[in-house]
Amino acid sequence: MVGDPGRDRPTRADVRMRGFADRASVEQATRWIDAHARILADEELDAADGAGRVLALAITTKRDLPSEDRAGEDGYAIRAGETIGAADYNPLPFALGSPDDAFPSGAAVPIVSGAAMPAGSDAVLPFEAAQPSQGMLEIYAPVAPGSGVERRARQAAAGTVLIEKGRRLRAQDLGLIASIGLGRVRVVRQPRIALISAGPKTSGACEVQDADEPMLRTLVRRDGGVVVHVASQAGTRAAMVEAITTHEADAVLVAGRTGTGADDEAPMALAEAGELAIHGVALRPGGSAGMGLVRGTPVVLLPGEPLACLCAYEMIAGRLIRSLGGLDPEPRDRCRVVEVGRKIVSAVGLVDICQVRLVGDRAEPVGSVESGGLLPAVRADGFVVVPAPMEGYAPGARVVMYAYGEAGTGGRNDGERGG
Amino acid sequence: MVGDPGRDRPTRADVRMRGFADRASVEQATRWIDAHARILADEELDAADGAGRVLALAITTKRDLPSEDRAGEDGYAIRAGETIGAADYNPLPFALGSPDDAFPSGAAVPIVSGAAMPAGSDAVLPFEAAQPSQGMLEIYAPVAPGSGVERRARQAAAGTVLIEKGRRLRAQDLGLIASIGLGRVRVVRQPRIALISAGPKTSGACEVQDADEPMLRTLVRRDGGVVVHVASQAGTRAAMVEAITTHEADAVLVAGRTGTGADDEAPMALAEAGELAIHGVALRPGGSAGMGLVRGTPVVLLPGEPLACLCAYEMIAGRLIRSLGGLDPEPRDRCRVVEVGRKIVSAVGLVDICQVRLVGDRAEPVGSVESGGLLPAVRADGFVVVPAPMEGYAPGARVVMYAYGEAGTGGRNDGERGG
């Protein structure tokens, strides 16, 4: 990892019917992405709509939580000192008060969890330890001072950061936000993504359905983006140039036509519409990926072969979308260290993406990096990235698995505006 | 774990201002849920809308994948035997054919990845190993038979199960479904959930905002359900009875008014509307949870205190929603084995839910089970369940952490019909 993005020597020659003379390293590709992925602006949102959104400003409590001593459980507010000596065979009598009265000595007042402690009381006696009897309350057990009381500021003192900036809001985060009465939150705008696919190959006898579009829609949503524009049959260079330039997206993904065939027009289309910075990455599958800029907007070229498309998305395009949306470019939430269960074989000189499934807590490779098709990824729980200098991993090695995670439930039309 | 759900002795006495005489075990509670959570019927759906949905029927390929020998990379289709001896200093000349011609001896035909191999050819030579020259093609390297060819059925033979029933569809699953030309899928109907909350407590001096409703909406969505009905101010028994009985949901969650205070009407409302099977579970936080049936529809009572609500949701209500929707009742995707980094303290006799965060790969407790409020869960990556007979876990112990996972992005109005 030497040099800076500006000094990289990208490969941008026409590779059609010649092959890749050289490829950028995965490090060069991710450095290019990181250099061109600026976090988007904030927007304000009803907190109730904040699920899955990325917090742009830390949330701090202005007051102590709780803001006064309060009951931590249901029972009777009481003076603990007055319960000393109470026992099953020595019940002590207390006057049953009401929450609105003053709190005289010898009183016990019913209180519900969350209510402010009456001034003078210092403990909550559980209902089970008392019994009303002839208008009085008999108490059967002593209680320690502070018992059943949640002290002012016990959860957090005024000024405490409750939720850090950059958090992708989960259920409990939204609950906490509601509990402090915050109705609006500042979040990072969702990256708007244009999806362009060439459509099925026309030059071969074997019809290939377009798997990439539904797959990419779901991946974009998983990574916090929203698909705003889709061009599905942009197979010619002119159609691609048109699609790459006509949208209101923050980033563009082009799927297909990235290889070395005569009709692999995507890199030329990007070069024509703007600038092709990198074409060809030392990644397997996914080696024909590319990237560049059109009027400042990053465009990622993904191979059409579905497994290659998936791997290039995970290593390159997903990183871009996560960064634009204020998430960690590395999907750390989905990373876990696992032990290798069966040997993972890899080629030296390429970053290999190995599909793995968990058998117990050990990762076993599924399929081979050389076989095409999505089936290995469908059978996998995640993937392992084998760095370029390595020949693979032996059983027992500890490696990082990137879990695919679950797709959020959603239809194809979520947030889509173009078409 | 003895007996069956029918023989459980549930606690259903009025606990108000008396306390829980006894509580059901967590096992009894989950057994009751499992006995009353019947998987919902299937429905057919456009595959493009299938993200996050649960497959009701396995997907099998009717044909071999691929259905014929095809090129696995871009290059020239060739007879491998004819390339023997080719080298940089011994280029062999081939006739450049076209894909539509017959494939005579001595021919090389440009082919794109995914196209059917011409009859007679048995390998794909990469473009890099050849150079057009004066209408001919010079070949600089030999190629082995089968090289660059993806054999018929290499991915899967006709009849192979590609995706198992019960899978929650991810990006690559949708890609594979599209790639075999399947336009519709059979999925389990999404559980329709009615959310009923009592609203802020009225009997205490300390105002408590309702954190539970936004939290539960997000949890329901995470677990594959859809909120179809919300009643937010159902604080009285009559309002609760009305809300519990007036909806078109597959399950009902009631948040709040489950405790031992005078206004804790939820269990009585459930008993009045139908049957209160269990009230009080040996779980901390979450011990005032309950459950029952109204006209065959399961109703889960969740404590109002937000952390208790979250824990009871995770242990009880989430299990119900996942089962209704055809998912594993145990959220195995979110489980991981981790090492305890700092001592986890627990009480014998209760199942304790300990919020933990990962520090490196070790789980450290956040906050205490005794402190209220959501902050510990907000700071946590997941939770550890400490079984009732245990006092906790020492550092170094290996335990299962239930990761909270990410919330899918979504607003409050997803799929909502009632209100």
- The verdict on B410 touching A (C-beta cutoff 8 Å) is yes
Strand A392-393 with A344-345, pairing: antiparallel
Interface of A with B in 153-172 (CB under 8 A): 154-156, 162-163, 168-172
Radius of gyration of chain A (CA): 30
Residue A369 has pLDDT above 80, yes or no: no
CB–CB of A261 and B74 under 8 A?
yes
CB–CB of A261 and B112 under 8 A?
yes
Alpha carbon distance B275, B298 (integer Å): 10
Alpha carbon distance B383, B352 (integer Å): 10
Residue B1 has pLDDT above 60, yes or no: no
β-pair partners for A132: A137
β-pair partners for B335: B402
A220, A226 contact by CB (below 8 A): yes
CB–CB of A180 and B260 under 8 A?
no
Question: Alpha carbon of A240 to those of A281, A342, B198: distances in Å?
Answer: 21, 43, 55
Digit-coded pLDDT (tens) for B382-409: 999 999 999 999 999 999 999 998 766 6
Alpha carbon distance B168, B48 (integer Å): 14
Alpha carbon distance B294, B312 (integer Å): 20
Alpha carbon distance B104, A180 (integer Å): 79
- Closest Cβ opposite residue B168 in set A309, A310, A406: A406
> In the numeric block, which tokens belong to residue B11?
């606690």
Residue type, A388: A
Q: What is the pLDDT of residue B9?
A: 43
- The verdict on B212 touching A (C-beta cutoff 8 Å) is yes
| Site from A18, A53, A65, A113 to mutate, B interface, most B CB atoms within 10 angstroms | A113
- What is the rounded average pLDDT of the residues B41-67? 95
Residue type, A127: F
- Closest Cβ opposite residue B19 in set A127, A150, A411: A127
Alpha carbon distance B101, B120 (integer Å): 12
Residues of A with CB below 8 A from B411's CB? 48-49, 51
CB–CB of A411 and B170 under 8 A?
no
Alpha carbon distance A47, A64 (integer Å): 21
Q: Name the 3-class secondary structure at B143.
A: coil
- Closest Cβ opposite residue B170 in set A21, A218, A410: A218
Digit-coded pLDDT (tens) for B110-122: 998 888 999 999 9
B223, B318 contact by CB (below 8 A): yes
Residues of B with CB below 8 A from A19's CB? 126-128
Residues of A with CB below 8 A from B218's CB? 51, 170-171, 174
Prediction ipTM score: 0.90
Question: Alpha carbon of B11 to those of A241, A269, B29, B84: distances in Å?
Answer: 69, 71, 11, 83
Q: What are phi and psi of A267, to 5 degrees?
A: -65, -40
Q: What are phi and psi of A23, to 5 degrees?
A: -120, 155
Q: What are phi and psi of B284, to 5 degrees?
A: -140, 125
Q: What is the pLDDT of residue B302?
A: 96
Residues of A with CB below 8 A from B181's CB? 209
> Nearest-5° angle of CA B310, CA B315, CA B407?
50
Q: To the nearest whole angstrom, how far is the Cα of B362 from the nearest Cα of chain A?
A: 11
Q: What is the pLDDT of residue B21?
A: 77
Digit-coded pLDDT (tens) for B116-165: 999 999 999 999 899 998 889 999 999 999 999 999 999 899 999 999 99
- The verdict on B419 touching A (C-beta cutoff 8 Å) is no
The average confidence (pLDDT) of chain A is 89
Alpha carbon distance A172, B417 (integer Å): 24
- The verdict on A260 touching B (C-beta cutoff 8 Å) is yes
Higher-confidence residue: A314 or A206? A314
Q: To the nearest whole angstrom, how far is the Cα of A117 from the nearest Cα of chain B?
A: 9
CB–CB of B127 and A411 under 8 A?
no
SS (H, E, C) chain A: CCCCHHHCCCCCCCCCCCCCCCCECHHHHHHHHHHHCCCCCEEEEEHHHCECCEECCCEECCCCECCCCEECCCEEEECHHHHCCCECCECEEEEECCCCCCCCCCEEEEECCCCECCCCCCEEECHHHEEEECCEEEECCCCCCCCCEECCCCCECCCCEEECCCCECCHHHHHHHHHCCCCEEEEECCCEEEEEECCCCCCCCCCCCCCHHHHHHHHHHHCCCEEEEEECCCCCHHHHHHHHHCCCCCEEEEECCCCCCCCCCHHHHHHHHCEEEEECECEECCCCCEEEEECCEEEEEECCCHHHHHHHHHHHHHHHHHHHCCCCCCCHHHEEEEEECCCEECCCCCEEEEEEEEECCEEEECCCCCCCCCHHHHCCCEEEEECCCCCEECCCCEEEEEECCCCCCECCCCCCCCC
Residue B31 has pLDDT above 70, yes or no: yes
Residue A413 has pLDDT above 70, yes or no: no
- With left for phi above 0 and alpha for psi between -120 and 50, is residue B112 left, alpha or beta? beta
DSSP 8-state symbol, B399: E
Residue type, A314: E
Digit-coded pLDDT (tens) for A331-352: 888 888 899 999 999 989 999 9
> In the numeric block, which tokens belong to residue A315?
């290593």
B410, A170 contact by CB (below 8 A): no
Q: Among all residues of chain A, which has the CA nearest to that of B217?
A: A171
The average confidence (pLDDT) of chain B is 89
CB–CB of B375 and A65 under 8 A?
yes
Q: What is the pLDDT of residue A189?
A: 98
- What is the rounded average pLDDT of the residues B226-240? 89
- Closest Cβ opposite residue A115 in set B21, B203, B375: B203
CB–CB of B170 and A115 under 8 A?
no
Q: What pTM did the predictor assign?
A: 0.91
> In the numeric block, which tokens belong to residue A166?
């950059």
Which position has the token pair 């057919």? B44
A212, A304 contact by CB (below 8 A): yes
CB–CB of A46 and B412 under 8 A?
yes
- The verdict on A180 touching B (C-beta cutoff 8 Å) is yes
Higher-confidence residue: A408 or A416? A408
- What is the rounded average pLDDT of the residues A231-242? 88
Interface of B with A in 56-95 (CB under 8 A): 65-68, 70-75
Q: Name the 3-class secondary structure at B338.
A: strand
CB–CB of A375 and B261 under 8 A?
no
> In the numeric block, which tokens belong to residue A81?
């000192």
Interface of A with B in 282-321 (CB under 8 A): 304-306, 309-310
Residue A368 has pLDDT above 70, yes or no: no
Digit-coded pLDDT (tens) for A38-48: 999 999 999 99
B340, B363 contact by CB (below 8 A): yes
Alpha carbon distance B365, B345 (integer Å): 9
| Minimum mean pLDDT range among B196-205, B232-241, B396-405 | B196-205
Which position has the token pair 């209510």? A115
Q: Name the 3-class secondary structure at B175.
A: helix
CB–CB of B48 and A181 under 8 A?
no
Residue A10 has pLDDT above 70, yes or no: no
Q: Among all residues of chain A, which has the CA nearest to that of B171?
A: A215
Q: What is the pLDDT of residue A2?
A: 37
A218, A309 contact by CB (below 8 A): no
| Site from B147, B162, B206, B361 to mutate, A interface, most A CB atoms within 10 angstroms | B206
Q: What is the pLDDT of residue A200?
A: 64
β-pair partners for B252: B194, B299
Q: What is the pLDDT of residue A114?
A: 84
Q: What are phi and psi of B352, to 5 degrees?
A: -100, 140
Q: To the nearest whole angstrom, how far is the Cα of B115 from the nearest Cα of chain A?
A: 4
